[in-house]
Amino acid sequence: MSSCAWGLGTVLAFFASAGAAACGGGGGGGGGLGTCDEHPLETGLVAQQTGVSVDAFDCQILQSAASWDEPDPMLFKALIYVESRFDQKSAGCANLPCGTPAGWTAEEAGCLGLMQIVPACGGTPGNLGLLPNGRPNMTTDTSAATWAGSIFNPMNNIEIGVSYLADNRMQAKAMFAGCTTDQYTMMALGNYASYGSTKSCTDVNRAYLDLVITAYNQYATAAGYAPHSY
């Protein structure tokens, strides 16, 4: 377990190094993404509700956070706990927050995977996890040839979820000037759960944020990771 606290620059350097090759790919039958060399997110914990290692998807979290310039990768680990308890095949939100697009099933329009992605709300970056017709690839069989492109595949799901929060951050910066980096993080995270709930640098969806921050602080303590003061 790492006792160091990494900033974004260190995460980027990690993936530029030869050690990054140790990251497994594919999110295969075991549910994880292989192992990275020593990194700052490792907790040794298990999600009691699902029995899944809290560390199963660290490699993809680190890689996606670096790719989208997100300053606190540990936050996504806590977000995944709140959204799915690390169940990569989780499907929920029967309220269908963006409705059911024409030709879609209710299941396709729901919240999908580790980060409870909702493609019905506007697609995904580069159509990741989608079929040629724009509907989500709903494959859950990890041995199927179509699993690589599935919305449930952790490599795709985490990348999409991180991109959504990064886009929320960009929008918050455009709407509300002068906030701190951590405030923008909380503003983006609040809008991730309930879009439009962010009203200012400090008027955010606190009920949801407190759920995420509780898990965040637990994981940071277990990993020896210096937490942000959200």
Cα atoms found within 13 Å of the Cα of residue 198, Cβ hemisphere only? 27
Read off the pTM. Answer: 0.85
Show the CA angle centred on residue 59, arms to residues 108 and 222, nearest 5°. Answer: 105
Give the pLDDT mean for 3-9: 36
Q: What is the pLDDT of residues 108-123, one digit of tens each?
A: 999 999 999 999 998 9
The pLDDT value recorded for residue 33 is 44
The pLDDT value recorded for residue 95 is 85
Q: What is the pLDDT of residues 189-213, one digit of tens each?
A: 999 999 999 999 999 999 999 999 9
Q: What is the pLDDT of residues 10-47, one digit of tens each?
A: 443 444 333 333 343 333 333 344 456 668 999 999 99
CATH of span 8-128+149-223: 1.10.530
The pLDDT value recorded for residue 63 is 95
- Which two three-digit tokens encode residue 230? 């959200």
The pLDDT value recorded for residue 94 is 79
Which band of pLDDT confidence, cut at 50, 70 and 90, is reported for residue 149?
Answer: very high
Per domain, the residue ranges of the chain are: 8-128+149-223
8 Å CB contact between 52 and 59: no
- CA–CA dist 56, 205 (Å, integer): 28
Q: What is the pLDDT of residues 40-99, one digit of tens each?
A: 999 999 999 999 999 999 999 999 999 999 999 999 999 999 999 999 999 988 789 899
8 Å CB contact between 140 and 89: yes
- For residue 187, give the 3-state DSSP assignment: helix
